[in-house]
Chain A
Amino acid sequence: MKAPSSAPFQPARTAGAVFILKKAVISALVALLLFSLMIGVRTEAGPEGRLIYWTRFDELAAIVALVFGGSIIIELLRQWIGPLGAERIVPRWLQGLMEFAGRWLGPALLACAILVPFIFYDQRYILDLGILVLTYVMLGWGLNVVVGLAGLLDLGYVAFYAVGAYSYALLAQSGIPYPTFIAVPPFVSIDFLHLGTWSFWVLLPVSGILAAFWGVLLGFPVLRLRGDYLAIVTLAFGEIIRLVLINWQSFTGGPNGISAIPRPSFFGIPLTPADDGFAARFGLEFSPSHRIVFLFYVILALALLTNWVTIRLRRLPIGRAWEALREDEVACRALGINITTTKLTAFATGAMFGGFAGAFFATRQGFISPESFTFHESALVLAIVVLGGMGSQLGVALAALTMIGGFELFRGLDQYRMLVFGFAMVLLMIWRPRGLIGHRAPTVFLEKNQAISSDLVKEGHG
């Protein structure tokens, strides 16, 4: 070691003990203030409804001492190790390993997903969890078009999920309405076409189209809005849809929801123990697992369709225009790109996938109510997109697996579950502030296909 290179470390080490002590005392005081009521005094309702309380000053003292000592240790560590950068928190070898894994992660995940029903055939819980994760993967991929590619912050994505679910539920129960011409006034009457066992397969695209229609409808008023304002209006849109579903009792069933929604069929063959059912036709013994496995593959196929279409769209002019819109809207206008239709198609495409997922959700549950379509869902899907790395398909899938699977994994931890989760998110945001997979893959290349650092990629502002 040469002398000049070690010189810059010298001043950092000499930060006085006075400074460390001062900082520790301040931390301890803050802790005392905070915890004196939270821990120091314990209140409870007594036997006759009277308030009884007792003090726990020893615990309070322990906590304050812990904060005091912890503060000193952290300060000392900071001086010995230096500033805590990403490299220090996640060791280099681990990063190298993850880069290697990154290349094979996608195909490996897909293979695992295909094999899940074989391995866990009898474990209904795992299969249900898998279906749930895949639903969120699909929703994440759908929202990724709007938020990740086009850079439009949409907080009301659940609205399209709801439109898809209700479209399927209502149309499957009533049949598709169509006009018939009659001899007596008013000359046109509405008849209903019942689809029987094919209802899911016919209504799936219908639900997607209806959701896309609502996506365009939402898109129009928010075209001029950007950033926070756009987020607020989309949030409101999500709430409006939910409130309409609750209050339009005669149409949607209000808070009671819709029950007995037709189950999907195996391309026309019902998955029931009946004589013309799936098991009887194929000479199998009836098992309720058939339907679960079938649903698993349906949502897997739907999710993969979403993924395929999105990857394809990215390489088409429309997808490039979405990304260009995220990067610089003014430059897009100067290049003759119609901002209005570009934004609307992004909304419509994202909404369509949301609608597919909604129709699937309705047919899987057999029962839907407005409670399933709260803001919490929108926030969860958005969190998946942001954590995954905006615009990254693999990142979104990983984030959905971690968020939804992780929730289940830590179920045993009880009330500490959220704590673990929060801690993991803080670590992730220090390590990868732009999401799990933050870099962007170019859509076209001449010589070498190299990823673009996330520092250069814009998040979009409108």
Chain B
Amino acid sequence: MSGQIEQILAVDRLTMRFGGIVAVNALSFAAERGKVTALIGPNGAGKTTVFNCITGFYKPTSGTMRLTHDNGTVIALERLNDFRISKQAKVARTFQNIRLFPGMTALENLMVAQHNALMRASGLTFLGLIGAPSWRQAEQRAIDLSTVWLRRVGLIERADDAAGNLPYGDQRRLEIARAMCTEPALLCLDEPAAGLNARESGALGELLLSIRDDLGTSILLIEHDMSVVMEISDHVVVMDYGVKIAEGTPQHVRDDPKVIAAYLGADEEEAIAVMESGT
């Protein structure tokens, strides 16, 4: 915004304890508006826990998470719980293990995502029940928005197929489209490239970049596929054992000895992947 770097999400000293285990320890980082921020780290570093705190599935033990909308509204995410994060703070998320509604069609999945807007339009169901024209228009608009997203993720041909019948890669993309149908300010993706082949993750990277560039949606990303991280991230935060060990541009992070050590200590292959990929 007018050249000034603005933070959409500021996480400050976030701590999450499960009994005696400290999963996330005083983690601070920021995500910039209209940028892709990646959260990486070896398995068990606490990345998904951070995600669950941001998206309201966990209540953090301490720390603050401030979300700033582009109209200047500041929302303290740690004070909101589950569905309000998506409804009021406009934070959408996808899941590491895909969570679509398998028995509903691709189109229906996207319609469910527009629940809150449609609930208002249907006059809390009553206007919809009598089939008011305003409701019919709102429904058509929702179908149109869904169609736009189905086209965007290349699933328009399969709009009327059950989500559970789609191939794995398509399900991943449908889940992203569903999250985008909530019209979020911040999109949180938990390992979107997991289980995708090289060509599919390439397409995924392009999709995410187009979301960032065309809509200006900020993206927060957990990813293990370093080629995706290096290609699309503007900023990388590296975690290990619940604390931040490095952050910066992808190039900067890749050369950081602490990051290499963390990956080496955890898994030799991953360390090599970090060093070699993204070039």
Contact = CB atoms under 8 A, between A and B. Distances in A.
Contacts of A442: 104-105, 107-108, 160
Interface range, B side: 35 or more
B159 A446 contact: yes
A318 B125 contact: yes
Given A313-B129, A446-B159, A447-B160, A456 B115 contact: no
A323 B128 CA distance: 17
A317 B87 CA distance: 15
Contacts of A317: 111-112, 114-115, 118-119, 122, 125, 128
B113 interface: yes
Interface stretch (B39-47, B91-99, B201-209, B214-222): B91-99
Contacts of B156: 446
A62 interface: no
Interface stretch (A139-147, A167-175, A334-342): A334-342
B116 A444 contact: no
Contacts of A180: none
A321 B101 CA distance: 11
A370 B125 CA distance: 35
Contacts of A327: 101-104
A331 B100 contact: yes
A317 B122 CA distance: 8
Contacts of B113: 335
Given A445-B160, A452-B103, A336 B86 contact: yes
Contact of A446 (B160, B164, B178): B160
Contacts of A345: 125
B104 A452 contact: yes
B122 A316 contact: yes
B168 interface: no
Interface in B55-80: 55-57
Contacts of B83: 332-333, 335-339
A10 interface: no
Contacts of B56: 333
Given A440-B103, A456-B162, A334 B92 contact: yes
A456 B100 contact: no
Contacts of B165: 453, 456
A223 B29 CA distance: 36
A321 B160 CA distance: 18
B115 A334 contact: no
Given A334-B55, A335-B178, A444-B143, A328 B92 contact: no
A330 B86 contact: no
Contacts of B32: none
A190 to B, nearest CB: 32
Given A313-B129, A339-B83, A450 B160 contact: yes
Contact of A456 (B55, B57, B164): B164
B157 to A, nearest CB: 9
Nearest to B127: A316
Interface in B100-153: 100-105, 107-108, 111-116, 118-119, 122, 125, 128-129, 143, 147
Contact of A444 (B87, B111, B178): B111
A226 interface: no
Interface of A: 309, 312-313, 316-318, 320-321, 323-324, 326-328, 330-339, 345, 440, 442-450, 452-453, 456-458
Given A317-B118, A336-B86, 12 more contacts: A312-B129, A316-B118, A328-B100, A333-B83, A334-B57, A334-B86, A335-B92, A336-B182, A442-B104, A444-B143, A457-B102, A458-B102
